[in-house]
Copies of this chain bind each other. A is one copy, B any other.
């Protein structure tokens, strides 16, 4: 945790072996490179000893074999954009960080069966551009995070997107994996090629793909990804809830709509503070600069930006008739509790022009806001929501990480880790019921307030039965006290979650050590598989609580 710790450099022998394996250009040990890959938005410090950039599965295997011989830890990362959870950080100093961004080929697109085969370096932006520029009638599912994030990396962390294909791991099919001893396996497939490798998810024999997600049992070097056929019609919607007393009815409605398949997107519901972090920065507002917003400040900002307590977004897809019907079903279910706005492709240019005009003229703005029945900032999110729900990534939403940043945030090339923003993601998952969601959210809010932070919560529907209550602790990394508080808040939130018997759907580095506190038998099961596949414990030791930093030592003591 002490940022002054300097990792002991790797031995000369291993560095020269790595250089021989990958070429000298792709093995970095200079201080600047090590700095760059030892940064994260969470309050954790560890410094890697080398950064390597293999260009193929064979090169990945070479690195792994070298690491086994030298008993060095290797921490793979597809693109290194896992902000808020650990980015490229290893738990301990001295690791070899492996970045897979050179492996960025799109190997196959099958339009008839609606899938593609890609490497881990492929980004959302690249993937979407490739399909659109080549005229494929297929849509990707992207995240509302970085457009430069890795499609495979996110799926292996079991991240969640937007569309009906938003369960990213659920839509992976057919993995090529380098095991920790360097052996290459085609999980669910066969060395000689198998025609259903990317169409039938479960394969034959035990279904093993899942063991390579949120784990350290292998390095995925290729994957099939199921894609959404471009629908005949598509509408996005935003939904504003102005009166929080309606939240229970809205939640029940959403659950029913999801369970009956009327809504198949990963519905997002965000609270007012989330909207504010997208729209503004603390330094730009006339509010208290050394703590959370006061109630008066919050009210003033709500009014200034016309933000409702809660905003939701989703999409509907199908034939023209189906979309029309779904619109009427959504209206019937949701209109009693809030304001529902639909957007279709043909309306988008008009909405964008209207937004432009409205920003330029207060009169037009007032007329627009009256006419649409919502505020200009909310209207401004409509085109971004509309794009993201058809797989077109945008950097619009990721700027939230800069809310407490002391300097002006960038408009492009948004990279919170590089800029030393303070951001911790806390991502518990709950049954999607009123009895579970609201008491937990209120308890967490109290913890945020107690530690001096603004309460940020976005609810993402994982499936019709479970909702992720994604919370961000946004803090100023330049303020040591605030940084310490952020970590205390995070630990309090974990304790709150554990006491109420929930778990994280995706876990940050700081929580890995305690991940299986209540499931020691799962800890042992994971450890037995780890020991069978990685006896030297070289692959990301401690990632998701498996083969923790001292596991290898423990084994030696036996």
Residues of B within 8 A of A189 (CB): 519
Give which listed residue, B158, B210, B465, contacts A210 with CB less than 8 A.
Answer: B210
A206 adjacent to B217 (CB under 8 Å): yes
CB distance from A133 to the nearest CB of B (A): 22
Can you sample 29 A-B contacts with CB below 8 Å? A115-B465, A179-B525, A183-B524, A185-B522, A189-B519, A190-B516, A190-B519, A191-B518, A191-B520, A193-B501, A194-B503, A195-B431, A195-B502, A196-B466, A196-B503, A200-B463, A202-B505, A205-B544, A206-B217, A207-B213, A210-B210, A229-B260, A261-B264, A261-B317, A261-B318, A319-B329, A322-B322, A528-B532, A532-B532
- The residue on B at minimum CB distance from A502 is B195
Are the C-beta atoms of A226 and B186 separated by less than 8 Å? no
Residue in A205, A256, A464, A506 with the greatest tally of chain B CB atoms within 10 Å: A205
A462 lies within 8 A of chain B by Cβ: yes
Q: Are B192 and A501 in touch, CB under 8 angstroms? A: yes
With contact pairs A113-B431, A261-B318 given, residues A194 and B501 touching in the complex (Cβ less than 8 Å)? yes
A465 touching B206 by the CB < 8 A rule?
no
A212 near B206 with CB under 8 A, answer yes
A289 at the interface (CB under 8 A from B): no
Min Cβ gap A463→B in Å is 7
Q: Which residues of B contact A196 (CB under 8 A)?
A: 429-431, 466, 502-503
**Alpha-carbon gap, A256 to B164, bound state (A):** 16
- From B190, B205, B214, A205 is in contact (CB under 8 Å) with B214
Contacts of A531 in B (CB 8 A): 532
Known: A195-B502, A210-B210, A501-B192. A546 touches B205 (CB 8 A): yes
- Which residue of B is nearest A328, CB measured? B321
Residue A20 CB within 8 A of the other chain: no
Q: Are B204 and A518 within 8 A (Cβ)?
A: no
Give chain B nearest CB distance to A196 CB in angstroms.
5
A284 to chain B, nearest CB (A): 38
A538 lies within 8 A of chain B by Cβ: no
Q: What separation, in Å, do the CA atoms of A421 and B300 have in the docked complex?
A: 79
Q: Name the one of B194, B207, B217, B432 contacting A199, with C-beta atoms under 8 angstroms.
A: B432
Of all chain B residues, the one with the shortest Cβ separation from A546 is B205
- A200's partner among B261, B433, B505, B515 (CB-CB below 8 A) is B505
Q: How far, in whole Å, are A318 and B432 apart by their CA atoms in the complex?
A: 21
User: Is A29 an interface position by the 8 A CB rule?
Assistant: no
A515 partner residues in chain B, CB cutoff 8 A: 204-205
The answer to whether A226 touches B114 (Cβ under 8 A) is: no
Flag whether A393 is at the interface (Cβ < 8 A).
Answer: no
